[in-house]
């Protein structure tokens, strides 16, 4: 038989609960549109108690976005198995899973704003980009990237971000098509770099060496051949 007495949470447990509640609200609306009163009500506590655990509204936002940033960065982790095209496609699927789950919060985080435009949150965004950059280099087996390769990878990461933001505005293109298109874009950028640089040529050959007949890079080549015919 239960007594109906609510269990008292410890400080860290309550903090984590509030962060989770804030993230759930951010998934439906921009952080700027979510008030401390709403977070308190969703957590079942008073507004003053929220301020007991977080000194201000921005500090709660930053803590919530830090958790989201760690989650987003983890989406770029992928075992070094199979073709590069297949690995990138799996990463894109997980990335868009996150975008789907945290749409308004993701949009606000990437576009900036009063609640999320602090130096701390900007650093979080940069840390996610850096994780993505390092993960891709590791799959290419490159530790000291030449200038063209660094430009390629960082440009592609920016393309992924901007594509996700545009897609969120109306979702007019099927998500699966965009995921494949972004993998194709990586190969296309690599091909352009290879046209100007011998190191990039060797890298492109390495990328295509283990690509299966039904892989995304092979699919791109087939589509380009049809266009040229």
> Which among 160, 92, 76 has a CA at the least distance from the CA of 152?
160
143-199 pLDDT per residue, tens: 999 999 999 999 999 999 999 999 998 899 999 999 999 999 999 999 999 999 999
Q: What is the DSSP string of 132-154?
A: HHHHHHHHHT-SS--HHHHHHHH
The pLDDT score that the predictor gives to residue 223 is: 83
> Which among 92, 99, 94 has a CA at the least distance from the CA of 185?
92
> Which among 54, 79, 77 has a CA at the least distance from the CA of 66?
54
Tokens found for residue 223:
């589509």
**Would the pLDDT of 114 be above 70?**
no
Return d(Cα 160, Cα 129) in angstroms, integer.
11
The pLDDT score that the predictor gives to residue 2 is: 43
- Average pLDDT, integer, range 122-148: 92
């Amino acid at each position: 038989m239960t007594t109906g007495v609510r269990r008292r949470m410890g400080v860290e447990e309550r903090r984590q609960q509030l962060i989770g509640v804030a993230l759930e609200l951010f998934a439906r609306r921009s952080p700027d549109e979510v008030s401390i009163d709403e977070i308190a009500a969703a957590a079942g506590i008073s507004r003053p108690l929220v301020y007991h655990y977080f000194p201000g509204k921005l500090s709660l936002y930053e803590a919530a976005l830090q958790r989201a940033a760690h989650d987003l960065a983890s989406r770029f982790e992928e075992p070094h198995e199979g073709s590069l095209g297949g690995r990138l496609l799996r990463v894109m699927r997980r990335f868009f899973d996150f975008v789907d789950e945290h749409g308004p919060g993701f949009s606000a985080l990437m576009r900036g704003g009063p609640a999320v435009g602090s130096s701390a949150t900007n650093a979080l965004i940069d840390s996610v980009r850096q994780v993505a950059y390092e993960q891709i280099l590791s799959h290419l087996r490159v530790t000291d990237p030449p200038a063209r390769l660094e430009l390629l990878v960082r440009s592609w990461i920016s393309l992924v971000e901007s594509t996700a933001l545009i897609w969120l505005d109306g979702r007019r293109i099927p998500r699966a098509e965009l995921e494949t298109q972004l993998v194709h874009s990586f190969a296309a950028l690599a091909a352009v770099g290879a046209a100007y640089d011998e190191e990039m040529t060797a890298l492109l050959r390495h990328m295509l060496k283990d690509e299966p007949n039904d892989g995304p890079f092979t699919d791109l080549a087939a589509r380009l051949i049809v266009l040229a015919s």
